[in-house]
Amino acid sequence: MYYVVGLCVLVCTIACNSSSKGTASGTGSGSSVVSAPTATATGECKPLDVCARFPLEKVEKLCGGGLAKVAPTNTVSDAYLIDACEYQIANRATMVSIARTCMTAKGGGASMNGQAFQMGHDAKLRNNEVEDPASGLGDKAYYRTMKKSVVLHILKGNVTLEVRSDTETELAVKQQQCLVVIANELLAL
């Protein structure tokens, strides 16, 4: 979740006087019905229980990977709202992650979100990392692909989505299809 971390640092730098509250929880092996920690609406940003919207069975059917556990998180402040869910295999390695960041007007709204998105896009590629455009998704979108990992970054107004899929084999095309299905459903909300 490179973009989410970078966005958090940027937002915290800009809105250091903002109060924020973050929570995390998870479920045991085999469980798929999860409620994310309760978040409070922050202006134009409404909370989304990503793990409930995308149950473990649904994500496993789309992306594969022998998923066993979900780990929801959210962070709320007057500047932004981040809702996320990690889908892990039995050894707790994250195989799929979905994160939605909504930047409030107080946090700079769509303008600040666009700047943060562009910074992530312009960041130097690491070894074996490839970037490709992703058309037809949001205002701007691109893939960052590594040997066994694909991350889809999408900007739509004051909302940014980051959907990541890791595998133990090189199945980049299937991973991209999985990410697009999840992203399109999130963008339709």
Instruction: State the pTM of this model.
Output: 0.78
Asked whether residue 181 is domain-assigned, the answer is yes
CATH number at residue 118: 3.40.1000
Asked whether residue 65 is domain-assigned, the answer is yes
Q: Supply φ then ψ for residue 47, to 5 degrees.
A: -65, 150
- Spatial neighbors of 52 by CB under 8 A, at least 6 apart, are 33, 34, 35, 36
The sheet with strand 130-133 has its strands ordered as: 20-24, 69-77, 80-88, 94-103, 159-166, 149-156, 140-146, 130-133
**Could you list the pLDDT tens digit for every one of the 189 residues in the chain?**
444 444 443 444 334 334 444 444 444 333 333 344 444 556 689 999 999 999 999 998 888 778 999 999 999 999 999 999 999 988 888 889 999 999 999 999 999 999 999 999 999 888 888 899 999 999 999 999 887 788 999 999 999 999 998 876 556 667 788 899 999 999 988
Asked whether residue 56 is domain-assigned, the answer is yes
Number of domains in the chain: 1
Asked whether residue 16 is domain-assigned, the answer is no
Domain ranges, residue 141:
2-11+21-187
